[in-house]
Amino acid sequence: MKGLAAVVVSALMLSSTTSGVVRCQEIPQWLNGTAPSPAVEESKGSSPATTKIPGWKKDRMEQAALFKETPSDVVISAVLAEPSGRQKEFIQLKNLGGQAQDLEGWRLTLKNSGETEETFEFVASDGCETTIPPLGSLLVLKKDVQNPCGFNFELGPSEELVLFEEGEDAEGVDSVTWGNVGRGIVLYRNAEDEYDRAPQNVEGNVIDTLTRLGGFKNMLTFLKHFDLDKILSGRGVRNTGTWHNKIVREMPTSIPYTLFAIKDEAWESLFKEMAGEWAPPLTASELLEIDDALVFDIISFLMLEDSWNSRTLKLKMRDKSSMAFQTAHPDRKAVLQLDESGTIRLNYDCVDSPSPDEFGCAIQRGWGKCQEDWMNDNGFFSGRPLGYCEYECDKCYCDPLEDNCAKTIIADVTASSGEKGVVHVIDRLIEAPPIMPAWVPTDANGNPLPGSTKKKSKSRRADKEKEEKKKSSSSSRSSSRRTYQYNPWWGRK
């Protein structure tokens, strides 16, 4: 680092035409090895300093402005026709566009087995909500004492539901048809504008939940191959001597996990692509033989520690637009974002390239350095287009126009009411983000200085269990980790 500082000093001296003296203050503080100076409060008489907006933030603002120009697009996003237990019948509408839509005068028409029709009209009265914001949703429940704004008709098997705009001669803007789907099964609209079926709770662990959902044979094969199925089931892993076994054995087994599952169709597209045009598609076992590291990186990245459904994520994130969560892989975090409708989006290209000093990204953010030029170097030193400290400085953004994040198409499928985990199904096959090496001070030749490398904890699992034990001992007769019983996201005003 000192050698780099010397090069910068020499360049400045050669390029200077007015002075032959180069002061240390002209060198960025992270190059000359000094701590950033604290911010000085401006005097009342001084002119306010102008704040330079980084390029990534300008791009975000421009994209957001473009999205606001897109028209509203209301669709039927989910339906529960035959509730089970404490579930309630519901119809969920979602606005995929960039402008709000007032549904007053719109109608939902139910065709019972193609014979009779029943209609519910949206009316903005008595506190009934009819406006859906951009990327927002509106939940319509069966009418009762607690839900006076709900629909009157009875949902059931073999139905067709049509959404009409305002006006007697208006054409239907969206529709969904279903047969005998079974009790407790929710119909979810997927990326292909079709509907997937899924329960809201499965008694058992995450593996049992994935099996019950169906269509995840490849995920189950990969989880079993790396012994990650045992981690998700709360069991220990034997020493097999494989390269990935050491990482897996360090994963905590006493906590639930949230799994973002990828459907078989997405994996099969990868199998065809890797096999080439003239060869038969690969199988899951063949992919593991060719590049098991690729698969392990993806699968372990999709496993988040602790149970997170859309409701608990909203409580955790509060006013933040996105947040990083620890994955099963010790060196990776996953950045999640919630849109207005509560849809979970997974950003799979967001990492913290550590700031080039001993302070780290959290401290740099506390010092208010996220907007400075050296933190937003377009990858010149940081190696990342957004610069240093991407998720710590809240630079990561799920752009609805670019569609750069995976989104959940089936959400909040709990394993044993969330006590043993949660499963979300995403709309695509993702690639795990890179692992950025920690900053290490070096000498003039680029060699690490003695004693500068930090030793990792011998047992991450032991540290995690020790922390959980410490938390539980501090609370009397109650669990330190938030768990929740069957708590669906519908049925609440």
| Residues forming beta bridges with residue 415, ordered by sequence position | 202
Closest CA to 296 of 360, 351, 222: 222
Query: What gap in Å lies between CA 273 and CA 275, rounded to an integer?
Result: 6
- Give me the percent of the chain exceeding a pLDDT of 70: 80
Closest CA to 329 of 207, 481, 430, 434: 434
Q: What is the pLDDT of residue 115?
A: 67
Within a 13 Å sphere around the CA of 361, how many CA atoms are in the beta-carbon half?
A: 19
pLDDT above 80 for 249: yes
Q: What is the pLDDT of residue 102?
A: 92
Higher pLDDT, 52 or 295: 295
Higher pLDDT, 482 or 261: 261
Query: What gap in Å lies between CA 295 and CA 283, rounded to an integer?
Result: 13
CB contact at 8 A, 436 and 353: yes
Model pTM score: 0.75
Query: What gap in Å lies between CA 81 and CA 4, rounded to an integer?
Result: 66
- How do 422-426 and 257-262 pair as beta strands? parallel
pLDDT above 60 for 327: yes
| pLDDT tens-digit series, residues 212-223 | 999 999 999 999
Q: What is the pLDDT of residue 143?
A: 86
pLDDT above 70 for 14: no
Ramachandran class of 413: left when φ > 0, alpha when ψ lies in -120 to 50, beta otherwise: beta
Angle at which helix 284-301 crosses helix 217-225, to 10 degrees, equals 80
Residue 167 pLDDT level (bands cut at 50, 70, 90): confident
Query: What gap in Å lies between CA 305 and CA 40, rounded to an integer?
Result: 41
All domains of the chain in start order, with CATH: 74-198 (2.60.40.1260), 206-350+396-426 (2.30.180.10)
| Residues forming beta bridges with residue 325, ordered by sequence position | 334
The residue assigned the tokens 């509560």 is: 342
pLDDT above 90 for 24: no
| CA-only gyration radius of the chain, Å | 27
pLDDT above 50 for 477: no
Query: What gap in Å lies between CA 189 and CA 409, rounded to an integer?
Result: 7
Question: What distance, in Å, lies between the first and last C-alpha atoms of the chain?
Answer: 57
| pLDDT tens-digit series, residues 111-155 | 876 667 889 999 887 778 889 999 888 999 988 888 888 888 888
Mean pLDDT (the chain) is 81
CB contact at 8 A, 91 and 77: no
Type of residue numbered 420: K
Query: What gap in Å lies between CA 245 and CA 432, rounded to an integer?
Result: 19
Q: What count of other Cβ atoms lies within 10 Å of the Cβ of residue 337?
A: 21
Query: What gap in Å lies between CA 199 and CA 201, rounded to an integer?
Result: 6
Q: DSSP code of 483?
A: -
DSSP-based three-state secondary structure for 24: helix
* Mean pLDDT, range 20-44, rounded to an integer: 46
Closest CA to 255 of 477, 469, 408: 469
Q: What is the pLDDT of residue 283?
A: 95
The residue assigned the tokens 């459907």 is: 263
* Mean pLDDT, range 66-81, rounded to an integer: 90
pLDDT above 50 for 12: no
| pLDDT tens-digit series, residues 266-313 | 999 999 999 998 999 999 999 999 999 999 999 999 999 999 999 899
C-alpha separations of 274 from 132, 266, 268, 270 in Å:
43, 13, 10, 6
Where would I find the beta strands (DSSP E) of 321-478?
A: 322-326, 333-338, 344-347, 406-415, 422-426
Higher pLDDT, 277 or 45: 277
CA max distance for the chain: 92
Burial of 335 from C-beta contacts in 10 A (0-12 / 13-18 / 19+):
buried
CB contact at 8 A, 322 and 348: no
